[in-house]
Amino acid sequence: MDNSNKFANAIRSLSMDAVQQANSGHPGAPMGMADIAEVLWRNHLKHNPKDPHWINRDRFILSNGHGSMLIYALLHLTGYDLSLEEIKNFRQLHSKTPGHPEVGDTPGVETTTGPLGQGLANAVGMALAEKMLAAQFNRDGHRIIDHYTYVFAGDGCMMEGISHEVCSLAGTHKLGKLIVFYDDNGISIDGEVQGWFTEDIPKRFESYGWEVVRDVNGHDARAIDEAIQQAHKNTDKPTLIDCKSVIGWGSPNKQGTSGVHGAPLGEDEIALVREQIDWPHEPFHVPEEIYQGWNAEQSGQKLQTEWNVHFSKYESEFPELARELKRRIQGDLPANWQQATQDALGKINSEEQKVATRKASEIALNAIGPLLPELVGGSADLTGSNNTWWSGSRAVTAEDPSGNYIYYGVREFGMSAMMNGMALYGGFIPYSGTFLTFSDYARNAVRMAALMNTHSLFVYTHDSIGLGEDGPTHQSIEHLASLRNIPNLMVWRPCDTVESMISWKASVEMKSPAALTFSRQGVPFIQRTQQQIENIHKGGYILFESEGAPELIIIATGTEVGISLEACKQLDQQGKRVRLISMPCADVFDLQDEQYKQSLLPSDVRARIAVEAGITDYWRKYVGLDGDVVGIDEFGASAPGDVLMKHFGFTVENIIKRAQVLI
């Protein structure tokens, strides 16, 4: 450890130089945590720079993502595909070194971090995924899945409420391979945190059921190494290593102050840093012997080769398990998926059940669940209301992590971010439930799912004023439109058992994040042709058509499809040429080619009405300014659901009345 400083100083120099060249960024965290990073990455981290996706690698999460140059320096120095030119292009357009770490942009970055606390939450999800996958696939003498999840987190992460949600749950699940390094430097952007952050973090984590290593000198390599060894000895608790560090360490005039947090040091101060840390080199220059001391290509390949040999023995002894593990890690669907889901869809269609769509979702889960052992569900303390438990569900517990259902408790934000971590980890397709209105609690995690394109499936029930007596605090008004405005998030609102089954089937197949929204109240079953059923996969389709070219088009979703269909039938009997489009997923519909979209919504038919129990503005892109929307632009009320639907105009009579104005 005698030479640790010079290796850590390579991180400091690259970080301050990159931030200075970009004239933007956060040098304080990389400079302050460089010593911790050096000990972890050079002495303990199990990884292979030549294969960043090796399944049994340790996961490293920089939750305080503003310190991104720390991880970029580490990846560059250890041999990942991240050149010095990319370091020099820090924060520039199309570089591999964006302002905050982004998964998919930079080899070796495990998750996108920046919104504080979410990286920590992702890591809890990853650590739980590791424990679950190990329980499902490891066998005596074959620890195929066996690695750590390491996290760097700062004061900001600890202040965020999500850290409470997920760290409490991590303690309950006894995630012994989760190790968090708390950068306890007492400084945030606004200055010394003692003015607004005075809790005892070690005591807090001890109350969660964590092992805590207190008062570790974050600039003493030996002390850091001993703390990590202590954490490794603990197998039944996650560990918090409380590292006392100095932000911007090495900067004579700015270290230990907020001045080094989020701004370049300046050329003069950088010159002083080079003197202070004994780094007599030009900007962006790292001596060859330092590169050699950091490079992990050979050691990483050795680790993976040893694991490959072990896996070959496992494969010989447990061929079926090995094939299944490979399939799940690769994200391939089972060979019988298409046929089995088509058969299930046919059965559901033939049964013609008239149930709430939340119940229809449960029926769909019972159809797809046996086909997908990678499906892992959960709910934020609303399992019975969300209908997220299916007949094959089995609770995941600290003692038995081999199950497929997680009781998250009332932790909507933490739940959603943990799901993202599980999806990124691989081998699982996570889904979870809460009321649609409470998606607000989880909004940023849902946004991050869309940004990262994780295969996270968010189940939201009680999707409108139709839930009734709970009142406006629980009744969704703006939520559907708000979710639809998130890029890359597929928002489904099916109208019956058939559409619900297809919403689940499509969400699994698309491998992108989805929000599946369902009703509390019952809905009718709707008869369809086989072609109509196939067209549901396109997000929108013609459900009813009068003879001749339409003079009026009605678009409806979810619980409002039934009343819209009845309105169309009555208008048809009145001699009006009307078309009804059911649009369970506008996001998928928008992905279709122009020919298909024009076949449903011909531009020469301007008389259009959208019907949905949500805000009206979203539907203007389909009905135009001269069209109409039967919706709700105010908060709901407490009353039985059927009373509310009538009160706010969601009736056959009102739809017909509004239609007659247009034609």
d(CA 408, CA 406): 6
Which residues, other chains included, contact 13 with Cβ-Cβ below 8 Å and sequence gap of 6+? 274, 277, 279, 281, 283, 286
The type of residue at 411 is R
- The runs of H, that is alpha helices, within 369-408 are 383-386
Contact (Cβ atoms closer than 8 angstroms) between residue 563 and residue 521: no
Residues in the chain, total: 663
Please give the positions annotated as active site: 412
Joined tokens for residue 240: 């918090």
Nearest to 405 by CA among 430, 386, 440: 430
Which residues, other chains included, contact 588 with Cβ-Cβ below 8 Å and sequence gap of 6+? 490, 506, 537, 538, 539, 540
CA Rg value for the chain = 28
Coil, strand or helix: which one is 105?
coil
Residue 512 has what DSSP assignment? S
d(CA 29, CA 154): 9
Contact (Cβ atoms closer than 8 angstroms) between residue 66 and residue 24: no
What is the distance, to the nearest Å, from the Cα of residue 133 to the centroid of all Cα atoms in its chain?
19
DSSP 454-480: ---EEEEES-SGGG-TT-TTT--SSHH
Joined tokens for residue 117: 């606390």
Contact (Cβ atoms closer than 8 angstroms) between residue 389 and residue 137: no
DSSP 21-50: HHT-S--HHHHHHHHHHHHHHHHT----TT
Longest dimension (CA), the chain: 90
The type of residue at 55 is I
Coil, strand or helix: which one is 53?
coil
